[in-house]
Structure 1
Amino acid sequence: MHRILGEITKRGPTVLASGCAIGLVIPDLAALARPLLPVMVFIFVLGTLLRINNAEVIKAAKNLKISLIFPALMVVACPYFFGMLSLYISGNQELSLAIAIAVAAPPASGNAAVARMLGLDPSMSLVTALCSMAIIPITAPLILHVFADGLSLSIDPVDLAIRLAILIGGAEGAAILIRRFSQSFVATHGLAIDGIVVIALFLFAIGTMAGMQSIILQTPSLAISMILIAYGVNVCMQLLMGCLYPGSLVSRFTMALNGGNRNVGLLWSALGVSLSPTMALYFACSQLPIHTMPKILQFVLPRIEGLFKKPGLTQS
């Protein structure tokens, strides 16, 4: 079993991307996995917390770029910029609102686990995500207010804060208890924990594809357009955050991952069932780059690292 979990961990990005493919090809399986999403989130957040080095987390939290400046850029400045830009280009209020809300979401809960798979900085990823989550009960309703003029949509900040407190507080509490009473177990079975996290991410990816096949078959041109826009926004956010962050190549790619891969489902669920078809379609399509970009990064990272190792090029 340990060997199997170890192999799964080594192939994490591939496993994650295959989850999307399986969910698209087998819609019944995606529908079965959909109700499991909250449980899967709890599992991979718990697994990440168990595997994180506390000293590294504290060090990252003391860095204001990681704990304050870039979280604010991600959930305040970027949603406004991308929302306004999309409104100017398309003239479609519902699409611009969907993009603004998607970008206003905090970094995805699984980013720290993905960062570990890719050889990036999981502590930095975790701190950025947690600090972003701490402020979105305030920032997300403000972004909604700016872009939802005339639309009957709202986000309850108290409800959102409670959801986040239960998720993070519950996982952190469980992690503290497990570390306290089973520290040796965690140290000995770290690779197995990583494998369980990858499986949880895999099932999560399958579940997020629920309904996507029918959408693509019914409106192929619209769905493809939305998928391309979702990939475009994700890539632009990764490039923007990676270029803006003043650090090593590993730090830049870690911040880029957090910038592109957001927990869109969190704000999607907070908005309830009153979404327009355009917004619901964009939110659904945005799940594809979230789960396939790690595989793309796994391919790109070694080549960029090799480029920086060439004579005459230095890593900042």
Structure 2
Amino acid sequence: MTNSLLRFAPRGPTLLIVGVLAGLAFPALAEAIRPAMAASIFVIVLGTLLRVNAADFIRTLRQPRFSALLPAMVMLVCPVLVGAAAHLTGVGPELALAMVLAVCAPPSGGTAAVARMLGLDATIPLAVTLLSMALAPLSVPLLAAWFAGIAFDPVELALRLFVLTAGAAGVALLLRQCASATLERHAGLVDGLVLAALLIFATSTMAGVRAQIEAEPMAALVCVIIAFACNLALQGLGAALLPGTLAERLGIGLILGNRNVGLVWSALGASTSPTMALFFAATQFPIYMTPRLIAFLIRWATPEKAVS
């Protein structure tokens, strides 16, 4: 088991696509593992925390561009830009609302783990993700109310975020104190477990999506196209935002583009319309497929780096 995880970990970007396609091809499989979605998110965050150097993390937090500028861009500026674009293109009120709410979400919990798979520094994605999650209980309800008059329960949202981040951080701190040497020896196994959790999450997000696509194929196609356009536009904005190497800028783009849409989706509950649910599901495709594109760009720009 351990050797298998270590062997497949470097091929993470490709395997994430396999997870999404497996969930589409086998709806029963996606439904069966959907209850494990919350646990998989916890493992993703925990594994990433275990693999990030504490000194590097603190150093990152001391840089205003990462501790203030990027979280503000992620949680405030991007939703406003997407809302303006939706209004100008006239996509329809429900779809426009879904677009804004999707971008109100903090970065995906697996962003730092994906960055590691791509050979990028995972410290910045992790720092920005955690800071964005801390901001989400305030920014998401305010933006949702401002854009469409939707009332979120900020306490419920804050509780979900607290359980996810503080719980994983507490376990990671305990493991680092009690078994730091063991963690260092088995770092590759931690990466493999994170990959397994990402695959479970990717597959489970496709639960019910195939039925939605079959029921409304044209609407589903429009949602997928818009989801890719929105994700790639935000990744491009992130890549252009700060100076650095191509790999570093692509890592910033990953933070802006890939969002934890499931968090907002679950917070909406019964308020989610069929159109909004279809778009939220469509956002999962670029989240799990663009890392393969980023791997190709990194390999093209730096041939000495082989990202599988």
TM-score for both structures, normalised by structure 1: 0.93
Distance 1:194 1:257 in 2: 19
Question: Is 2:123 the partner of 1:123?
Answer: yes
The corresponding residue for 2:161 is 164
Question: Is 2:269 the partner of 1:267?
Answer: no
Q: CA deviation at 1:247?
A: 2.8
Distance 2:95 2:146 in 1: 14
- Three-state SS of the structure 2 residue aligned to 1:246 is coil
Distance 1:91 1:37 in 2: 31
Query: Among 183, 193, 198, which residue is 1:186 paired with?
Result: 183
- Three-state SS of the structure 2 residue aligned to 1:11 is helix
The corresponding residue for 1:310 is none
Alignment of 1:148-163 (within 5 A): 148-149=148-149, 153-163=150-160
Stretch of structure 1 that moved more, 25-34 or 295-304:
295-304
Q: CA deviation at 1:79?
A: 0.4
Distance 1:247 1:145 in 2: 37
Deviations 1:51-99 (A, max 9, x none): 1110111111111111111111111111011112112212511111111
The corresponding residue for 1:81 is 81
Conserved 8 A contact 2:44-2:197: yes
Conserved 8 A contact 1:109-1:263: yes
Distance 2:74 2:301 in 1: 24
The one-letter amino acid of 1:256's match is G
The one-letter amino acid of 1:225's match is V
Deviations 1:107-160 (A, max 9, x none): 1000111000001110011001011111111111111112214xxx32111211
The corresponding residue for 2:225 is 228
Conserved 8 A contact 1:84-1:96: no
Question: Is 2:90 the partner of 1:90?
Answer: yes
The corresponding residue for 2:15 is 15
Stretch of structure 1 that moved more, 267-276 or 225-234:
267-276
The one-letter amino acid of 2:230's match is V
Q: CA deviation at 1:299?
A: 1.5
- Three-state SS of the structure 2 residue aligned to 1:273 is helix
Distance 2:270 2:120 in 1: 37
Alignment of 1:63-74 (within 5 A): 63-74=63-74
- Three-state SS of the structure 1 residue aligned to 2:270 is coil
The one-letter amino acid of 1:15's match is L
Conserved 8 A contact 2:246-2:298: no
Distance 1:108 1:49 in 2: 14
The corresponding residue for 2:306 is none
The corresponding residue for 1:281 is 278
Stretch of structure 1 that moved more, 156-165 or 40-49:
156-165
The corresponding residue for 1:60 is 60
Aligned length: 303
The one-letter amino acid of 2:215's match is Q
What value does the CA root-mean-square deviation take over the aligned residues? Answer: 1.2
The one-letter amino acid of 2:79's match is P
Q: CA deviation at 1:250?
A: 2.9
Distance 1:79 1:3 in 2: 42
The one-letter amino acid of 1:217's match is E
The one-letter amino acid of 2:262's match is G
Conserved 8 A contact 1:121-1:250: no
Distance 2:136 2:28 in 1: 33
Distance of aligned partners of 1:27 and 1:271 in 2 relative to their CA distance in 1, 3 Å threshold: same
Question: Is 2:210 the partner of 1:209?
Answer: no
Stretch of structure 1 that moved more, 244-253 or 81-90:
244-253
Distance 2:75 2:92 in 1: 21
Distance 1:106 1:40 in 2: 17
Distance 1:134 1:112 in 2: 16
The corresponding residue for 1:106 is 106
Conserved 8 A contact 1:5-1:195: yes
The one-letter amino acid of 2:180's match is Q
Conserved 8 A contact 1:17-1:292: yes
Conserved 8 A contact 1:93-1:147: no
Conserved 8 A contact 2:50-2:172: yes
- Extract unaligned runs of 5+ from structure 1: 307-316
The corresponding residue for 1:314 is none
Distance 2:65 2:245 in 1: 13
